[in-house]
Amino acid sequence: MRVLKILLLAAGLLAVGFCAGCQKKFTRQRYETIYIGMPDRQVRKILGEPHLARGESWRYLHEKPFYKAIIEFENGRVKSKSWSLERPRRARHTEPVGKAGA
């Protein structure tokens, strides 16, 4: 009986450990810990993998509620950072008026 209790306790602790790693990394609270001059590897450790990385610009997105952050780097260190609650406007795809050959 005692062995069973120990196994259940160990399984519970293991489950808690896994769930702690499952939490979303990209939050405003974590974003606020990023500072100018921080190495990119440290940013990745704090915020996780960026949703979009182009050159030295990383974008992090959260859908509901919507928020995003843009981290700019120079020589592998944070050059600037910005936070936004606005969704980007999507371009409307329309057919050109008066197509040639129609």
Domains and CATH numbers, the chain: 26-87 (3.30.1450.10)
Each residue of 30-77: pLDDT tens digit?
Answer: 999 999 999 999 999 999 999 999 999 999 999 888 999 999 999 999
- DSSP-assigned letter for residue 10: H
Comparing 57 with 87, the larger pLDDT belongs to: 57
What is the C-alpha to C-alpha distance for residues 62 and 11, in angstroms, rounded to an integer?
Answer: 32
| Start-to-end CA span in the chain (Å) | 83
Q: Are strands 67-74 and 52-54 parallel, antiparallel or unpaired?
A: unpaired
Tokens of 17: 């450990």
Q: Regarding predicted confidence, which is higher, 6 or 82?
A: 82
* Dist. CA 74–CA 43, nearest whole Å: 13
